[in-house]
Amino acid sequence: MIEKDNRNLKLVVLKFGGTSVADVPQIKKIALKIKKEINLGNKVIVVVSAMAGVTNNLIDLVKSTSQTPLYSEYDVVLSTGEQVTSALLAIALDNLNIKARSWLGWQVPIISDKSHGKAIIEEIKTEQISKFLEKNDVAIISGFQGVSQENRITTLGRGGSDTSAVAISAAFSAERCDIYTDVDGVYTTDPRIVKSAKKLDIITYEEMLELASQGAKVLQTRSVALAMKYDVKLRVLSSFEELPGTSIIKEGKNMEKSEISGIAHSLNEAKVTLSGVPDQPGQAADIFGALAKHSINVDMIVQSSSINYEATDITFTIPETDLIRGESIIKKIQKKIGFKKFITDTNVVKISVVGNAMRTQSGIAKTMFETLANNQINIHVISTSEIKISVLISSDYYELAMRSLHTAFGLDV
């Protein structure tokens, strides 16, 4: 639960992603953008990501030290990326005579639980920054990080600066939260893969939530859920061009429209098959219970029906980034479960068609499967929900799949 600060500052939150702070010239540019906001009479809280590529490099450093690192220390390493950009931006703003200072997550503090690598924000103390902003113009907060009750640094999961920005907007009752990134808004699908993707002027929280949760990384899923919960006015905008962007709204003219809102893909998938699982009650509960206990999210699941109720195969997907941990957890219970083989495939991508149309139109699955078949693309696993259909396919074909589905559902500009 995030408590709202009740002071009456006219305050906006601006978040700048990795490419927006990729180098010093870029940081100087966003300092000028922030200056414009101050000239409009606003107090500004800026949330920054690490420079593009830095978090990946830090992960490589950790992984080359150990494949099974202490996650508390992993977070200490990862949080350094955002420390650099927040201070560089403060220096750039000082050069423009703007009164600003940087805050690390623990200094605010942004208090989170202790699930390192994917921590959940529990509380944001607004006191210090509100006081600072009464006399100064800009508070810069390092995104992606918090501090646990145990006084350890935590990180919020990849793309977590979006969640920092929205949580901070809620805590400070900001007038709006602008997410500046390297595309000029939310599109019907990733515009870097499908050139004919259409930019959306508005999208509902619900649709955005579903697109993000299926892999559209333009916003971290949790940031959309938080914005919905706390009524944060959220926009996605380009750091590089002055364009109107996309507003994420509660409901719109399109609320009841029966349409496909977009196509998402997720590369961070690993397919796991446990073969020869003795067909007895309680097996699925043991397997998925063990993974849940270690906060590993299982997504798609299929179980083959056994002949004579002897043995089955269970196939499921987990994030590829959790595969090493997942394998060691499952192998520890191999004797108890009695399965024969643990087989993995990381050369897979999940493609999802998302939209309200699923609720009312029966032909969506048919169109999806026919389109993939016409392109000779084999489907490994299928899963459906009220507003999405997902398929797991070989990663060799994901761009072709996305382009052909985008065309098949009439989304091309």
Residue-wise DSSP of 150-173 = TS-EEE--TTTHHHHHHHHHHHTT
Question: Which is closer to ligand ASP, CB of 118 or CB of 152?
Answer: 118
Residues near Mg ion (CB under 5 A) are 17, 159
**Strand order from edge to edge, sheet including 138-142:** 100-103, 138-142, 43-48, 11-16, 176-181, 234-238, 246-249, 202-204
Question: Which is closer to ligand ADP, CB of 193 or CB of 298?
Answer: 193
Applying CB under 6 A, among 85, 189, 223, 356 the residue interacting with ligand ADP is: 189
Asked if residue 146 binds ligand ADP (CB under 6 A), the reply is no
Residue-wise DSSP of 321-389 = GGHHHHHHHHHHTHHHHT-SEEEEE-SEEEEEEESTHHHH-SSHHHHHHHHHHHTTPPPSEEEEETTEE
Asked if residue 55 binds ligand ASP (CB under 6 A), the reply is yes
| Among 280, 276, 281, residue whose Cα is nearest residue 334 | 276
Residue-wise DSSP of 63-124 = HHH-SS--HHHHHHHHTHHHHHHHHHHHHHHHHTT--EEEE-GGGTTEEE-S-TTS--EEEE
Question: Which is closer to ligand ASP, CB of 81 or CB of 355?
Answer: 81
Query: Residue count at the site for ligand ASP (CB under 6 A)?
Result: 13
Phi-psi region of 282 (alpha: psi -120 to 50; beta: other; left: phi over 0): left
| Among 280, 278, 343, residue whose Cα is nearest residue 312 | 278
Pick out residues in 168-187 that bind ligand ADP (CB under 6 A): 181-183, 186-187
Asked if residue 117 binds ligand ASP (CB under 6 A), the reply is no
Q: Is the peptide bond before 25 cis (omega within 30 degrees of 0)?
A: no
Applying CB under 6 A, among 11, 81, 111, 389 the residue interacting with ligand ASP is: 81
Asked if residue 195 binds ligand ADP (CB under 6 A), the reply is no
Write down the least CB distance from residue 178 to ligand ASP, Å. 15
Compute CA 342 distance to the chain's CA centroid, rounded to the nearest angstrom: 29
**φ/ψ of residue 267, rounded to 5:** -90, -20
Contact 389, 382 (CB under 8 A): yes
Asked if residue 192 binds ligand ADP (CB under 6 A), the reply is yes
Could you say which of ligand ADP, ligand ASP, Mg ion, none residue 118 binds, taking C-beta under 5 to 8 angstroms by partner kind? none
Write down the least CB distance from residue 8 to ligand ADP, Å. 30
Applying CB under 6 A, among 146, 262, 326, 355 the residue interacting with ligand ADP is: 262
Question: Which is closer to Mg ion, CB of 262 or CB of 326?
Answer: 262
Angle, CA 395 vertex, CA 53 and CA 306 arms, to 5°: 130
Question: Which is closer to ligand ASP, CB of 105 or CB of 143?
Answer: 143
Asked if residue 215 binds ligand ASP (CB under 6 A), the reply is no
Write down the least CB distance from residue 133 to ligand ASP, Å. 23
Asked if residue 160 binds ligand ASP (CB under 6 A), the reply is yes
- Interface mask toward ligand ADP for 32-71; x: CB under 6 A: -----------------x----------------------
> H or E segment at 207?
helix 205-213
Closest residue to ligand ADP using C-beta atoms: 17
Question: Which is closer to ligand ASP, CB of 74 or CB of 339?
Answer: 74
Asked if residue 222 binds ligand ASP (CB under 6 A), the reply is no
Question: Which is closer to Mg ion, CB of 212 or CB of 377?
Answer: 212
Question: Which is closer to Mg ion, CB of 5 or CB of 162?
Answer: 162
Per the structure block, which two tokens stand in for 288? Answer: 């998925």
How, if at all, do strands 145-148 and 110-112 pair? parallel
Q: Which stretch binds ligand ASP (CB under 6 A): 90-98, 154-162, 369-377, 403-411?
A: 154-162
Binding site for ligand ADP (CB under 6 A): 17-20, 49, 159, 181-183, 186-187, 189-192, 211, 216-218, 262
